Amino acid sequence: MITEDNKKLAQWAMDFALKNGCQAAKVILYANSNTSFELRDAKMDRLQQASECGLGLNLYVDGRYGNYSTNRLNKAELEKFIKNGIESTRYLATDEFRVLPDPERYYKGGKPDLKLFDDRISGISPDDKVAIARAAAEEALGKDSRIISVESSYSDGENASYRLISNGFEGESKSTWYSVSTSVAIKGEGEARPSDYWYGSSLFYDALPKTGIGAKALERVLRKLGQKKVQSGKYTMVVDPMNSGRMLNPVLSALYGSSLQQKNSFLIDKLEQKVVSDKLTLIDDPHVVGATGSRYFDGEGVATKRCPIFENGVLKTYFFDTYNAKKMGVAPTISGPSRLVLTPGDKDLNGLIADVSKGILVTGLNGGNSNSNTGDFSYGIEGFLIENGKLTQPVNEMNVTGNFLTLWSSLAAIGNDAHKDRSWLIPSLVFEGVDFSGL
Amino acid sequence: MNRRDFLRTSGLTVLGVVAGGALVRGPLSREGKQSAVASAMSHFGVTEADLKKVMAAALEKGGDYADLYFEHTFNNSVSLMDGQVNNCSSNIDFGMGVRVLAGDQTGYAYVEGVTLDEMLRAARTAARIASSGKAGKPMSFKEKTPERDYYAVVTPWEEISLKTKIPYLQKLNDKVFSLDQRVRKVRASLSDQTSHILFCNSEGIIYYDYRPMVSYMVSCVMEENGRMENNYAARSYRKGFEFLSDDIIEVLAREVVDHTAIMFKAVKPKGGELPVVMAAGGSGILLHEAIGHAFEADFNRKNTSIFADQLNKKVCNERINVVDDGTIPFNRGAVNFDDEGVEGQKTYIVKEGVLTSFLHDRISAKYYGVAPTGNGRRESFRSIPIPRMRATYMEAGNVSEADIISTVKNGIYAYQFTNGQVQIGAGDFTFFVKFGYLIEDGKLTRPIKDINIIGNGPKALADITMVASNEQIDNGTWTCGKDGQSCPVTCGMPSALVSKLTVGGEN
């Protein structure tokens, strides 16, 4: 919770910085709190509670730029901290590209409340919170003789920030979150003890799924029994909505000005070109009321807007913040997406699987990485073999390897099952002709 | 999440930094005959009477054990991009955490201010984990000093101004550009961290620890015939300013250029099950993932590790010894004390092929009735200590690397790694090979790049059939993640043959 005193402190820090050598500055004051209750076999294992508050400053001094942050918020220490920061920044080389955004681009207020904050956050009793975690555990405990351990948890928190920019931006944002999860470990073959989990989360307590979490975690681990690796080869890859966002993440990283300016991207000079399958349409949709990830302004105070990123496979935008735009001599955009929506298809995961004759459903990624210059990737996986539209064999200890441009060009089908509580709404995805290595 | 624990080396992921940390200089200076702990208490603005009151509040509901962990950390970073040292950042983090144990249950709360009222509030929150209602007995503290300081600094980072650091980035940049015409972009950063830790617990232990850290990193992008590739090089130690030298500039510059240039020649291998020769050094990532996490005793006392029933059993070739060591001087994983009052030590986890010890925190040590091994570590005052690795490595074997490679007809030589991960219970672990070589008919041939390798912990350990005598620790910026907490570690290994792992690739 940002208090009036917090705001006054941020304003004081801004004034102090400007009076002591900064020509411009950004100040952000944050205040976060959270509680969590973790249960093991429905008995209390850990309780944790915390709240924290800190101040971050971007200082623009004589054409130079430095970042400073501290959670020591008494004025005497802050004065010394800011003065030291100004002094340190003066040692740096000048950087003509470090300027504040054009104030015309700032969010100026006036839009409806995004409703990301639940006033109930401080009113829920610890007993009720523990009861939710216990109920999740009890859905699994004793339901199968092979169960070794059931861990469940309830956690919640609030995040708030207050931002000032010296050329005319003031913005405040706050949100709450609630989460319940369960992880179940069972005795598998030999010494193996496979585990899996499920969770529910929401911005609002009343919308938090409070049942079904433990049962789903148990179902997810039981279906893994008998995992083995299958023959290496090309398969149709189906990625479930728990993991589909991981296939998109490196593609988005390649669109940032910081990557492009450093020639560290596999999507340089591709704007308005068709680079992937025409089935891919991806929108940044930041103004949906009550939706995780929604926001009216980005980290620079710049107003967000609905904007296509890929439209039928054509790249429609990069993400140029003020600094990289100026450095590259292009017009700035938003500094990064807020809430991503991949335009869904009309089938759920089962419907997609039914259309696959020889494939692998990926339900978990294990390690792996990608090359930011080439787009080449390789990840460990677990999941299921698909034969003639049916899951016939749990698989594990395999790798999937390829290139993100080739992969996204082979996008064949899209599900309608994105997880609604996330800021990235990426449904199940189907890709053709993907290399898996196993036996 | 959920027993997926991972390790990564960060390219230019800067952890944070400092503006002239004027509050403290070096290990807290002692006035007259004042003890280190007395200086630390005065630094944090607390008295022994305060600590006793907070401890009493922590135990007022009947907890068996409590500890208080005070931290004051200064992070500084300065970086170079496009030939200019034009960005810096500094961060100060301050606070204290109260932990209460009741059996194997944990209550934890932290505060960012250390007034008596704030500390009592945290203590009473953490105390709620217990319910026996039997308040703890009054106690007194006895100062502990480590037998040896594994990271004594010559020149503390607090004495070094930003101005002094800048030439080390500029010279590194210039060196990289001078080594190869194909270099297009260079980024470099120098990060230092200084932590002051004051710890006390209900067993009466109190100590002060001064923890320095430095990370020096460079990455570059090179262009050849219109193709781009990038790579990075980094070193990290618990050292002061004395770490920097012209030699280290030379080493990092050559490494980053060589390791980027090789990417142009590298191909993707054909995937499948293959023998893999792990090169000496960073290959220790295999130990970290395949067995290290699964030996952490929290997973074993809960019976969720694949090694839970393997203690004192033979798990691999009897020539193999694996160590987790907090006592390597200046190592990133060195600990004078862990974060719950246990001295740093060297722990054999595999001795002559037998699994001899798990990695313990206080809770698991009590569960198993053994002495804690000094592995109870935490990311900061915001987190509870849990069993974590330090420097995990395999001791030298008895053959040469060339002998190992010569036995492989068709396989992979894995050289540089970026990250890995493991499923503790199922045992499946992975590591990403940034580059290596094909082995054909007993010889290294074409370079390979960007492939993941996956295996199963107990099987992979049992499949290590040859170990070379070239034992080596990798001093990169290894950071281990577990339960949302990051911890600095290192790993190491002599060259070794794993007879079968599943290698990513094309078909």
Q: ipTM value, please give it.
A: 0.94
pLDDT classification of B26: cutoffs 50, 70, 90: low
Subunit contact A66:B87, Cβ cutoff 8 A? yes
- Residues in chain A with CB shorter than 8 Å from the CB of B3 are 183, 185, 195
| Residue tagged 């492989």 (tokens) | B408
Helix (H) or strand (E) holding B37: helix B36-44
Rounded average pLDDT over B213-228? 97
Residues 378-437 of B with CB under 8 A from A: 382, 384, 418-432
* Cβ neighbours of A136 (radius 10 Å): 32
**pLDDT, tens only, B416-448:** 999 999 999 999 999 999 999 999 999 999 999
Name the residue among B298, B294, B296 with its Cα closest to residue B315: B294
Chain A: residue nearest B92 by CA? Answer: A70
The single-letter DSSP state of residue B362 is: H
Measured between alpha carbons, how far is B168 from B161 in angstroms, rounded to an integer?
13
Subunit contact B108:A69, Cβ cutoff 8 A? no
Measured between alpha carbons, how far is A213 from A198 in angstroms, rounded to an integer?
6
Subunit contact B94:A72, Cβ cutoff 8 A? yes
Subunit contact B268:A376, Cβ cutoff 8 A? yes
CB B229 within 8 A of CB B257: no
User: Mind telling me how many Å the CA of B431 is from chain A's nearest CA?
Assistant: 7
**pLDDT, tens only, B77-124:** 999 999 999 999 999 999 999 999 998 899 999 999 999 999 999 999
Map A67-86 to HEC letters: EEEECCCCHHHHHHHHHHHH
- Residues in chain B with CB shorter than 8 Å from the CB of A130 are none
- Residues in chain A with CB shorter than 8 Å from the CB of B223 are 263
The single-letter DSSP state of residue A190 is: T
Amino acid at B301: R
Query: Does the structure show a pLDDT above 60 at B24?
Result: no
Residues 269-298 of B with CB under 8 A from A: 271-273, 289
- Residue A102 vs residues A221, A321, A336, B87, B229: alpha-carbon distances, Å: 53, 11, 17, 21, 35
pLDDT classification of B14: cutoffs 50, 70, 90: very low
The average confidence (pLDDT) of chain B is 92
pLDDT of residue B147: 81
Query: For residue B70, what are its two tokens?
Result: 């005070």
Which of B230, B314, B449, B452 is the mutation pick for testing A, counting most A CBs within 10 A?
Answer: B452
Measured between alpha carbons, how far is B190 from B212 in angstroms, rounded to an integer?
14
The single-letter DSSP state of residue B288 is: I
Q: What is the number of helices (H) and of strands (E) in chain A?
A: 9, 17
Name the residue among A439, A120, A331, A306 with its Cα closest to residue B454: A439
Q: Report the Cα A287 to chain-centroid distance in Å.
A: 17
Subunit contact B85:A92, Cβ cutoff 8 A? yes
Which of B8, B454, B501 is the mutation pick for testing A, counting most A CBs within 10 A?
Answer: B454
- Residues in chain B with CB shorter than 8 Å from the CB of A43 are 105
Subunit contact B2:A45, Cβ cutoff 8 A? no
Which 3 state secondary structure label does DSSP give B458?
A: helix
Query: Does the structure show a pLDDT above 70 at B18?
Result: no
pLDDT of residue B30: 53
How many beta-carbon pairs below 8 A join chains A and B? 278
Amino acid at B323: V
Using the Cβ of A438 and the Cβ atoms of chain B, whether some distance falls under 8 Å is answered with: yes
The alpha carbons of chain B give a radius of gyration, in whole angstroms, of: 24
Nearest 10 degrees: CA dihedral of A114, A119, A125, A129?
A: 0
- Residues in chain A with CB shorter than 8 Å from the CB of B430 are 366-368, 379-380, 399
Q: Report the Cα A223 to chain-centroid distance in Å.
A: 27
Residues 322-381 of B with CB under 8 A from A: none
Subunit contact B505:A66, Cβ cutoff 8 A? no
User: Mind telling me how many Å the CA of A186 is from chain B's nearest CA?
Assistant: 8
Query: For residue A270, what are its two tokens?
Result: 């591709």
Q: A195: Cβ–Cβ under 8 A, 6 or more apart, which residues?
A: A149, A183, A184, A185, A186, A221, B2, B3, B304, B423, B424, B425, B426
CB A67 within 8 A of CB A299: no
Beta-strand pair B410-423/B272-278: parallel
CB A66 within 8 A of CB B87: yes
Residues 34-93 of A with CB under 8 A from B: 40, 43-50, 52-54, 64-72, 77, 80-81, 84-85, 87-89, 91-93
**pLDDT, tens only, B150-189:** 999 999 999 999 999 999 999 999 999 999 999 999 999 9
Measured between alpha carbons, how far is A51 from A1 in angstroms, rounded to an integer?
10
CB A248 within 8 A of CB A241: no
pLDDT of residue B134: 76
pLDDT of residue B34: 74
Measured between alpha carbons, how far is B358 from B381 in angstroms, rounded to an integer?
25
CB B469 within 8 A of CB B495: no
Measured between alpha carbons, how far is A230 from A310 in angstroms, rounded to an integer?
35
**Which stretches of chain A drop beneath a pLDDT of 70?**
none
Shortest CB distance from A149 goes to which of B302, B306, B454? B302
Using the Cβ of B110 and the Cβ atoms of chain A, whether some distance falls under 8 Å is answered with: yes
- Residues in chain A with CB shorter than 8 Å from the CB of B420 are 367
Q: Which residues of A264-286 are buried (b: 16+ CB within 10 A; e: fewer)?
A: bbbbeebeeeebbbebbbbbbbb
Rounded average pLDDT over B237-263? 97
pLDDT classification of B68: cutoffs 50, 70, 90: very high
pLDDT of residue B6: 63
Q: B197: Cβ–Cβ under 8 A, 6 or more apart, which residues?
A: B69, B70, B71, B208, B209, B210, B211, B339
- Residues in chain B with CB shorter than 8 Å from the CB of A40 are 302
Measured between alpha carbons, how far is A399 from B273 in angstroms, rounded to an integer?
11
pTM score: 0.94
Subunit contact A67:B88, Cβ cutoff 8 A? yes
- Residues in chain A with CB shorter than 8 Å from the CB of B88 are 66-67, 88-89, 92
Using the Cβ of B167 and the Cβ atoms of chain A, whether some distance falls under 8 Å is answered with: no
The single-letter DSSP state of residue B290 is: I
- Residues in chain A with CB shorter than 8 Å from the CB of B220 are none
In chain B, what percentage of residues exceed pLDDT 70? 93
Query: Does the structure show a pLDDT above 60 at B138?
Result: yes
pLDDT classification of B21: cutoffs 50, 70, 90: very low
pLDDT of residue B132: 75
